[in-house]
Amino acid sequence: MFVKIYFLALKVRDALLKKWWNFLGRLLLQANGVIVESFPVLYGLPMITCHPSSKILLGRKVVMCSDSRFTALGVSRPVILRTIKSDARISIGSNTGLSGVVICAMTSIEIGSECLLGADVQIFDNDFHKIEAENRRFDNTPGKIKCAPVVIEDNVFIGVGSIVMKGVRIGCNSVIGAGSIVNKDIPSNSIAAGNPAKVIGQLPV
Do residues 58 and 32 lie in contact, with contact meaning Cβ atoms separated by under 8 Å?
no
Per-residue burial over 134-149, b = 16 or more CB atoms within 10 Å of its CB, e = otherwise:
eeeeeeeeeeebebeb
Q: Is 51 a catalytic residue?
A: no
Catalytic residue among 60, 61, 85, 129: 129
Three-class DSSP category at 69: helix
Question: Quick count: other Cβ atoms within 10 Å of Cβ 204?
Answer: 4
Burial class (CB in 10 A: 0-12, 13-18, 19+), 16: exposed
DSSP conformation letters of 9-23: HHHHHHHHHHHHHHH
The strand ranges marked E within the chain are: 35-36, 41-43, 47-49, 55-58, 63-65, 80-83, 89-92, 97-99, 102-105, 108-111, 116-117, 122-124, 150-152, 157-158, 163-164, 169-170, 175-176, 181-182, 190-193, 198-202
Q: Which residues are catalytic?
A: 129
